Copies of this chain bind each other. A is one copy, B any other.
Amino acid sequence: MTAAANQNGRRATASRRLERAGIRDVAAAAGVSITTVSDALNGKGRLPDETRSRVREVAERLGYRPSAAARTLRTGRSGLIGLTVTTYGEEPFTFTEFAYFAEMARAATSAALGRGYALVVLPASSRHDVWSNIALDGTVVIDPPDQDPLVTELYRSGVPVVSDGKPGNCPVTAWVDNDHEAAVLNILEHLSEAGARRIGLLTGTSTDTYTRLSTEAYLAWCDRVGQEPVYEAYPAHDPAAGAVAADRLLARPDRPDAVYGLFDPNGTDLLAAARRYGLRVPDDLLLVCCSESDVYANTEPPITTLSLKPRRIGTTVVNLLIDAIEGVDAGTGTATGRLFPPRYRTAGTGPPPGTLMPTELLVRASSQRRTPRTTVSPPRAPGEG
């Protein structure tokens, strides 16, 4: 009552616009102070249930919706986390076309929502600087290259950053990655057991973590078992280049009798190339590729794929990020933990905590010499020659 006139004084003098009801209007209507309204609505403070419910009722009646902007300004929390991929640089969203990123982004969105956050996908750079216009509580960065300026900038300005892909040389809060080395070794071993004598690799020319680690693991394995490396690298961006590289690989004088392709389209490309050269899969050529697509379950023959389990990655990354956001106030390093005590361990000093997630090898006909079903197909004539 007494407060009403006071609180509304300013508004009353202003124009009589029919705006949305503010917290002051609720306070006036309920005959309490705005403090009480805020406390009642947010479940804080010490208030008798009667007052609480009365205030809630009035707020409901007035159709009061708290201003997210004001709340964000006051609390410093926006409930928004960003997701971006910096590696593939300029062109926005070519990346979402990769099944891995699409699925990962979906899982990340879902995980964020499950914890009350919303996720916004942002490009590494754009004309309008969207980044500076949006209050972010934290950011997930997919596969940041060494010395990524964006990551450095974000981290320096106090925004927690969690990366998918072990970061090269950027300061991140935490990171998650597949155990690429284990995955590649597992595949090579699998192919060896299936009878492969010379295993080739179809890899990329870019320097992202995935490509680099996988290739290194392959080379190390070759070195260890004494096989001469047989690989072709191509720019993974270019869909046409993949087919050419697959062809090149099978055209080599030291043609491999088994191939692992690092990228999604490699399976069909290699299959097509094999067909051109009259190579039967899996009889003459064992095939494995990394893919999240289930079309490889229905190709002829079905192709063994390595799944990076992007959903699991996306979920983990987001949870790690939100833990960091809610655990410590990143800027000053002072633990706030009032409302949200850190439920997971929080990184102290030292290297950022990383988590390695396992991959999954879906073994299909293309990487097994003895297929269960006996086929009646006659030996095919060599390709197109």
Contacts and interface: CB of A to CB of B under 8 A. Distances in A.
Contacts of A102: 102, 106
Interface stretch (A130-138, A165-173, A302-310, A363-371): A130-138
Interface string A247-260: 00000000000000
Contact of A65 (B69, B72, B109, B132): B132
Contacts of A132: 65-66, 68
A316 to B, nearest CB: 17
A126 interface: yes
B157 A128 contact: no
Contacts of A331: 19-20
A112 to B, nearest CB: 9
Nearest to A73: B69
A295 to B, nearest CB: 6
Contacts of A65: 132, 157
A70 interface: yes
7 contacts: A66-B132, A68-B132, A73-B73, A113-B123, A113-B126, A119-B120, A119-B121
Contacts of A298: 295
A134 B79 contact: yes
Contacts of A78: 68-69, 133-134
Contacts of A88: none
A117 interface: yes
A134 B113 CA distance: 12
Contacts of A123: 113
Interface of A: 17-20, 63, 65-73, 76, 78-80, 92-93, 96-97, 102, 106, 109-110, 113-123, 126-128, 130, 132-135, 156-158, 295, 298, 331-332
Total identical chains: 2
Nearest to A130: B118
Contacts of A128: 113, 115-116
Contact of A121 (B20, B72, B96, B109): B109
Contacts of A127: 116
Given A109-B93, A118-B122, A118-B130, A332 B158 contact: no
A68 B126 CA distance: 17
A93 B315 CA distance: 14
A116 B113 CA distance: 24
Given A80-B80, A96-B109, 10 more contacts: A19-B331, A20-B157, A65-B132, A65-B157, A67-B73, A68-B78, A69-B135, A118-B121, A118-B122, A295-B298
Contacts of A116: 126-128, 130, 133
Contacts of A76: 69
Contacts of A67: 73, 135
Contacts of A114: 126
Contacts of A332: 17-19
Contact of A110 (B19, B92, B110): B92
A46 B92 CA distance: 35
Contact of A20 (B66, B68, B158): B158
